[in-house]
Amino acid sequence: MTTGAMSRRLLARLRDLMARSAAPLSELAAVIAAEMVSEVCSIYALRPGEVLELVATHGLRPEAVGRTRLRIGEGLVGLSAATGDTLNLPDAQNHPAFAYRPETGEEPFAALLAVPVRRAGRMLGVIVVQNRAARLYAEDEAETLETVAMLLAEPLAAMAANEPGGEDLATTLPRHFVGTTLVAGLAIGPVVVHGLRPAPTRLLADDPAREQARLAQAVARMRHGIDQLIAASGELPAAATTRDVLEAYRLVAEDAGWLRRVAGRVAAGLSAEAAVERAASEVRERMRRINDPYLRERVADIEDLAERLLAALEAGAPPPPVPPGAILLARRLGPAHLLDWHGRGIAGVVVEEASAAGHAAIIARALALPMLGGVRDAVAAATAGDLAILDGDEGQLILRPPEDLQRAYLRAARERAARALAWADLAQAPARSRDGTPFRLMINAGLAQELAALDRVGAEGIGLFRTEIAMLARGRLLDVAEQAALYARVLDAAAGRPVLFRTLDLGGDKLLPDADAVGGENPAMGWRSLRVGLDRPALLRRQLRALLLAAGGRPLSVMFPMVATVAEFVAAKALLLAERERVRPPPARLSIGSMIEVPALLWQIDSLLEAADFVSVGSNDLMQFLFAADRGAPALAGRYDILSPPVLTLLESLARRAAAARVPLSLCGEAAGEPLVALVLAVLEITTLSMNAAAVLPVKAALAAADFPAFRAVLETLRRQAGDVASLRGPLDAWAREHDVPI
C-alpha cells in the first residue's frame, strides 16, 4: 500500500471513529498503530503544571497510563513539546534527551517518531509511534502523523477544558500589560483577535475531488487578487520599486512547491481549510527558527499567502459578528482592516507593534477609537471572548480583570459618559474664554465618517483635512473622479464653513501598502509629502484638479504640507494657479496656504507670509524636527514638550509676525486638542485651533472655565522665572486643577 493510500485510509477510519462522539483515545491509538504499521502508538496530554501525561497507549504497558509523566523539555516527548518539532529517531534510547521510564516497558522499541499536538499556537500534547526495528521513518509517514496530530487537537483540547482544574491557569488569571497610548479613552468589553481565524471545524473532506476543485478556485481567486494589487501599484510613487516587490511576492504565489503540498494533503482526505492551515502553521514554526532576514521575508510571504488563500476559501461567508463593546487585539494592523473592524462595531484597539500601526493610529484618532500600541505579547495571552479593559489614559490593558477592578472601571466609564453628556450642551455655545475672548475651534478630519462630527461638536470648520487618509484607508491612490467626489462631500458637509484641504502627505509613518521602499532609511525626512508632489507634478496636479472640480465655484482653501523652502511653496502654488485656469467654474475665492512644520521655514517666515494666504503650524512634525525626536518612537513619547520655554518663544514670535503681516495663523497638531495647551496658545494669541473632533468640547469647556487674565499672569511669571526647566507643564497643570479648570 502506498503511503498516500495509507494516509487516506487512516484519516477515513479516524473520522469514522471520531464521528462517534466519545471514541476513547486508546481506540484511536490502536487504529493509528495498525495503519502506520508500528508496534506502539501513545498519546500524551498537557496537564496543569506544564506536565505531559501518558493518557492512552497501544503497545506500551497499560498500567503506565496516568502514571508516566514528563515535564516540558524532559525526555524525548518533553523535547518535542518544548521545541514544537517533530522528532524522527532510529535509535531513540541512545539519544541524549531520552528519559527512561521503567513502568512503560518501552525497552524493546528502538525507532521513535514524536509529533507535537497544537491548536492556535497552543501546545496540547504529543503523539508518538515506536517500532522495534531501528529505522528512520519516511517523510510521508512523518507527514501522516503530523496530519493525525492535527485531528487529535480537538479531543485533547476538549479534554483540557472539561477536566476540573484542567484549564490552563495562564489563560484564566488576570494579566496586566503596559503600552503607549495612541488614542486616549476607555473601553471595557470582550476581546476579539485580528487575524485569528477559528481553527477549521471541518478537518476532513467527504469528497476529495470536490475539495480539490474548491482549492483550485481559491488559488485562482488569490492570484487574481495579487494581479489586481500589482495593476493598482502603477499609480504609486516609486511604482517601479513597488512593482518589483509585488512581482517577487507573485513569484512566491506561483511557486508550485508549497501549493503542491497543500494539494497533496487534500488528496489524502483533509479539507482545503485544514490543509492550508497546516501549511500556515508549518511556516509559522519555520519562522521561529530562521534568523536570516531575507529568508524570513520569503517565509513570511508564504504565511501571508496562506492567509489570503484561507480568506479566498471563505469568500462569500459573512464575517462572524463582533460582540458589543469588543476590544480588538492585533499584532499589526493596516488602516483598511481597522476601518473594517470599526464598521463591525469595535470599541477599542490594542496593537502589539505600534510603529507599524502608525497610520492605523491616525485613523483610530479620527474615529475617536481608544488605542494602545507597543503592548507586547498581549495577543498570545488572550483568548477570544476574554473580558478586557483598555485604559487609554494610563496606557494599560488589563486582561480578565478581577471583579473589583471591573466595577471600578465601569464606574469610571459611567462618569465619563455623564461628562460627555454635559459637554454635549456646549456644542451650540460659542467658543469663548470666561472674559469673552473668542476662539475658532475647528476639527481635523480625513474620512467621510468624521464629517458628522462638525455639527455634533459645533466646530467652525475643518482646519486640516488630511487627504491621504482616504487613500491609506483604501490602500491605493484615488483617481481624479473619486477624489473630486470625496472632496465635494466634505464641502457639502461643511455647508459654507471653511475647509483647509491639505494636499497628499504620504511618507513618514503614512505609507501605502508596499510603498516601504519609498522612504529610505529615514522616511520622516525622506522623499515624502510635497517633495513627491513637486517631483511628480502630474500626481499633484491631478489632486489639485480634483479639489477645484469639487469646489465647483465655491470658495476653496488648499494648503501644502512639509514645505521646507519658500521656493517649494511658490512652485506648488504655481501648479495650483495653473490648474485653476483649466477648471470651470473657477472657485469663488482660492486661498493658498502653507503648513509650518519644517524648522528651516522659521527663518524664511517673512517671505513665506508674503506668498501665502494663510499658514498653519503642524506641531507634530515641527516638534519632531525641532527636537530631533521621532514622533512615533514610544521611548521618546512625552520627552520633549510643546510647553517648553523655547517652543513658547518660537510660537509667540510666529504669531506676532503673522498678525503683523495680516496672515491668518492656526495650529493643527495633536497638541491643539489638549485643553492645557489650548489655554497657553490662547495667551500667545494663537486662537484658531484645529484638533481631533473628540477634543473640541473638552477644550471648549476648559476655555470657558479659565480666568484668563489670571492664567496669563501665571504663565508670564513662569516664563520669566523658567531658567533651565524643560517644561512649564507641571506648575500650569497644578494651577488649572487648583482653579477647577477641567483639563
Q: Looking at the annotation, which residues are catalytic?
A: 359, 668
Residue 88 touches which member of ligand PEP, Mg ion, none, C-beta under 5-8 Å by kind: none
Does residue 507 touch Mg ion according to CB under 5 A? Answer: no
Q: How far is the CB of 357 from ligand PEP (least distance, A)?
A: 15
What residue number has its CB nearest to Mg ion?
A: 621
Kindly tell me which residue out of 59, 200, 618, 632 binds Mg ion, with binding defined by CB under 5 A.
618
Q: How far is the CB of 671 from Mg ion (least distance, A)?
A: 12
- Report yes or no: 670 and 432 within 8 Å, Cβ to Cβ: no
Nearer to Mg ion, 269 or 561 (CB): 561
- Report yes or no: 481 and 237 within 8 Å, Cβ to Cβ: no
Q: How far is the CB of 277 from Mg ion (least distance, A)?
A: 42
Residue 464 touches which member of ligand PEP, Mg ion, none, C-beta under 5-8 Å by kind: ligand PEP
Q: How far is the CB of 337 from Mg ion (least distance, A)?
A: 24
Nearest to 283 by CA among 84, 542, 142: 84
Q: How far is the CB of 498 from Mg ion (least distance, A)?
A: 19
> What count of Cα atoms within 13 Å lies in the side-chain half-sphere of residue 620?
18
Nearer to ligand PEP, 469 or 494 (CB): 469
Task: Report in angstroms the alpha-carbon separations of 374 from 196, 331, 342, 507, 604.
Answer: 19, 9, 20, 21, 38
Residue 211 touches which member of ligand PEP, Mg ion, none, C-beta under 5-8 Å by kind: none
Scanning residues 415 to 434, which ones bind Mg ion (CB under 5 A)?
A: none
Nearer to ligand PEP, 193 or 500 (CB): 500
Contacts with Mg ion, 480-499, as mask; x by CB under 5 A: --------------------
Nearer to Mg ion, 72 or 464 (CB): 464
Tell me the chain's radius of gyration from C-alpha atoms: 31
Does residue 621 touch Mg ion according to CB under 5 A? Answer: yes
Strands (E), 72-185: 87-89, 111-119, 122-131, 175-178, 180-183
Nearer to Mg ion, 65 or 665 (CB): 665
Task: Scan for cell 497644578, then name that residue.
Answer: 734
Residue 619 touches which member of ligand PEP, Mg ion, none, C-beta under 5-8 Å by kind: ligand PEP
For 95, residues 6+ apart whose C-beta sits below 8 A from its C-beta are 76, 89
Q: How far is the CB of 556 from ligand PEP (least distance, A)?
A: 20
Nearer to ligand PEP, 406 or 620 (CB): 620
Does residue 509 touch Mg ion according to CB under 5 A? Answer: no
d(CA 163, CA 669): 55
Task: Scan for cell 506502539, then name that residue.
Answer: 40
Nearer to Mg ion, 593 or 618 (CB): 618
Task: Scan for cell 479620527, then name that residue.
Answer: 366
Amino acid at 114: A
- Concatenating the DSSP letter of every residue in 260-298 gives HHHHHHHHTTB-HHHHHHHHHHHHHHHHHH---HHHHHH
* Residue ranges in contact with ligand PEP by CB under 6 A: 464, 466, 505, 597, 618-621, 668-669
Scanning residues 263 to 322, which ones bind Mg ion (CB under 5 A)?
A: none
Task: Scan for cell 470625496, then name that residue.
Answer: 486
Q: How far is the CB of 194 from ligand PEP (least distance, A)?
A: 24
- Report yes or no: 116 and 126 within 8 Å, Cβ to Cβ: yes
Scanning residues 580 to 599, which ones bind Mg ion (CB under 5 A)?
A: 597
Residue 674 touches which member of Mg ion, ligand PEP, none, C-beta under 5-8 Å by kind: none
- Report yes or no: 469 and 446 within 8 Å, Cβ to Cβ: yes
d(CA 77, CA 69): 10
What one-character DSSP code corresponds to residue 627? T
Answer positive or negative: Cα dihedral of 703, 706, 707, 709: negative
Using DSSP, how many helices (H) and how many strands (E) does the chain show? 26, 22
Q: Contact residues for Mg ion (CB under 5 A)? A: 597, 618, 621
